[in-house]
Structure 1
Amino acid sequence: MRSTEDWSRLGGGIITVLAAAAVAVLLVPRLLGVAAGPEADIITALKSTERDGLSLSLPGVEEPLRSQKHHFARITVNVEPGGQRAVAWATLDFDGQLGRTGVSSLGVERVPFVRRGGEWVPETLAAPRLAAVVRALESRRRALEAGDRQTLAGLLAPGLEPATGGGEEELERVMGLQRRRYRAETWLLRLERDEAVATESWRLEGQLPSRPVDEKGQRRFSLIRHEEEFLFSSGLM
């Protein structure tokens, strides 16, 4: 039979083993992450958004762009000298909503990462280029609805005028409506490295002196990257 001292030693050994196992549970994933390098951590951070969801805040827009489903693929990571900053290139297949507008996008995403508190996190957003394109489209929609010509002019690439592309008559017609409402029902996007193509399904409501207006249609836009923003390169209408 075991003595009381033997049982005490056995119990102490079991406690030591359990404590060591608990420490391993906490430390091993971190050690593996260090061994794998920042590339693995950054890829994991992007892929985890597919499970957790993606919500992108757009400056000047009350509601965020929210994903219903999305998928990052073909991820490559370039770590900058010093090991505190990196850039991830990936393809992003995205379906989501901005308020009542459905957004579907496919193309190239560039995500700057920084190291904070020992972890790699997006410097701003996990899909900054998608957010920039959607912000430009939403800014255009709001400016048309509000009749804000100054904002419209600011959304154009340098050297273009608001009526570029033969849309002067259409722009003036929209601006001439009373009680104007301009809604984007869907935006279908294709993103390349420095440009984007957007197809908008729209609905325009308003009032002319002689009759009410309620129209639907589609428009196609080209946008180009200008620093961290996207600007319209083929006109607004």
Structure 2
Amino acid sequence: MRRSEDWGRLGGIGIAVLAAACVLLFLGSRLLGAAAGPEAEIITTLKQAEHDGVSLPVPGAQAPLVSRKLQYARISVSVAPDGQRAEAFATLDFEGALGATTVSTAGVEAVAFTRASGRWKPTSSVAPRLVAVVAALEARRQALAQGRPEALSRLAGPGGDGGAGRAWAEVAPLSKRRLTVQAWYARLERDEVTVTEHYRLEGDLPARPVDTRGERPLLLVREGDQFLFSPGLM
């Protein structure tokens, strides 16, 4: 009888230890983050994204931007005086795809964070500038393919003549046009982005069919949270 009671007590202790371990496992990351401060928790979040990979929604695109490689470096964190907002500045090397289009970028990224329920979380995504650039590139591709010069004009930055750009002059005469982009290779600076676009343009002219492959340089400038195309390189 005594042995049964001893085993019962040992079983109770084991259950208590197991329960405590589960609680520590659940709260461990929060406790460590709180102890190390916001900088460490935010950097850990970005490094976890590197490890896990990302699938980022892109406004206006049918497919998400999916990473094959994601690497942050030279990360610095600035925390707002209220202790509830922060921004991480870093260089970002990204390789991935938007549907069938290869996307490869390098350069500056700035990720806003908000503290909620005791944890720091990205306000929008772990790569908001990258997403904004890809959204602009995809919007331009769709406008060209669908024959919407007015949409192209809205994507142009200040200093243009209100036109739709040189690419539209090439695309406009074609019937049954189809524009596909094989790749965008981009360099993100603080206020502008240089892009090399590899594309294929298909369609019909009155006298002959057209099937052209090529590459063109593009330049985007930052306007607040969005990127617009330099009218001279659109």
Q: One fold, TM greater than 0.5? A: yes
Give the aligned partner of residue 89 of structure 1: 89
Of residues 154-163 and 207-216 in structure 1, the stretch that sits farther from structure 2 once superposed is 154-163
Gaps of 5+ in 2: none
Aligned partners of 2:153 and 2:163 also within 8 Å: no
Q: Distance in 2 between matches of 1:214 and 1:83?
A: 56
The match for 2:128 is 128
Aligned equivalent of 1:203: 200
Would the aligned equivalents of 2:42 and 2:88 in 1 still touch at CA under 8 Å? Answer: yes
Offset, 1:120: 1.2
Give, in whole Å, the separation in 1 of the partners of 2:138 and 2:8: 70
Match status 1:175 vs 2:179: no
Relative to 1, partners in 2 of residues 1:234 and 1:13: Cα closer, same or farther, differing over 3 Å?
same
Q: Is the 8 A contact 2:30 2:119 kept in 1?
A: no
Q: Residue 155 of structure 1 contacts residue 232 of structure 1 at CA under 8 Å; is this kept in 2?
A: yes
* Corresponding position of 1:213: 210
TM-score, L = length of structure 1:
0.89
Q: How far apart are residue 234 of structure 1 and its match? A: 4.4
Is the counterpart of residue 141 in structure 1 residue 138 in structure 2? no
In 2: Cα distance, 1:135 partner to 1:59 partner? 6
Shift of 1:122: 0.9
> How far apart, in 1, do the equivalents of 2:11 and 2:179 lie?
74
TM-score, normalised with respect to structure 2 = 0.90
Q: Return the offset for 1:6.
A: 5.8
Change (3 A) 1:162 1:185: farther
- CA positional deviation for 1:49: 1.2
TM alignment of 1:1-237, pairs within 5 A? 13=13, 15-161=15-161, 168=166, 171-237=168-234
Is 20-29 or 79-88 further displaced after alignment? Answer: 20-29
- Farther off after superposition, 11-20 or 183-192: 11-20
What CA RMSD, in Å, does the superposition of the two structures yield over aligned residues? Answer: 2.2
Shift of 1:202: 0.9
Say which SS state the counterpart of residue 156 (structure 1) adopts.
coil
Structure 1 position 179, deviation (Å)? 0.5
Alignment: residue pair count: 233
Query: In terms of mean alpha carbon deviation, does 79-88 or 3-12 score higher?
Result: 3-12
SS at structure 2 position matched to 1:153 = helix
